[in-house]
Amino acid sequence: MPSHKPSKKSEAAQPAMFYQTLIEKPDNNNIEARIVLEKELKTVDIQWLLGPGDVDSPRSVGISPSYSKSGGLPVLALAHDTRVLVIKFHGTKAYRDGNASGNGTPSQPPNLGRRNQLENELLCNPLYTLYAFDLAPLALSLRLHLHLHLTDAIDIQSVLKAPDRSIMNAIRVVIADSFEILWSNITNAFERMLYEPNNGKDSNHRALSDLVLVQRAWLSGYIGQCDFGIIKDKAQ
Q: How confident is the model at residue 162 (pLDDT cuts 50, 70, 90)?
A: confident
pLDDT tens, position by position, 1-57: 444 444 444 344 467 899 999 999 888 899 999 999 999 999 999 999 998 877 778
Per-residue model confidence (pLDDT) at position 176: 75
**Structure confidence at residue 142 (pLDDT):** 95
Q: How far apart, in whole angstroms, are the C-alpha atoms of residue 214 and residue 232?
A: 23
Q: What percent of the chain has pLDDT over 90?
A: 54
| Residue that wins the pLDDT comparison between 137 and 112 | 137
The confidence score (pLDDT) of residue 105 equals 42
Residue 46 main-chain phi, psi, to 5 deg: -70, -40
What is the structure's pLDDT at 66? 94
Cα separation, 221 vs 59, whole angstroms: 10
Mean pLDDT for the chain? 82
Specify which of 86-95, 120-129, 164-173 reaches the highest per-range mean pLDDT.
120-129
Instruction: Tell me what pLDDT residue 96 has.
Output: 52
pLDDT tens per residue, range 104-133: 444 566 678 899 999 999 999 999 999 999
Q: Give the pLDDT confidence score for residue 100 in this predicted structure.
A: 43
Is the pLDDT at 182 greater than 60, yes or no? yes
* Mean pLDDT computed over 202-224: 81
Domains of the chain with CATH codes: 15-234 (3.30.420.10)
Q: How far is CA 160 from the centre of its chain?
A: 20
Residues 59-67: what's their mean pLDDT?
95
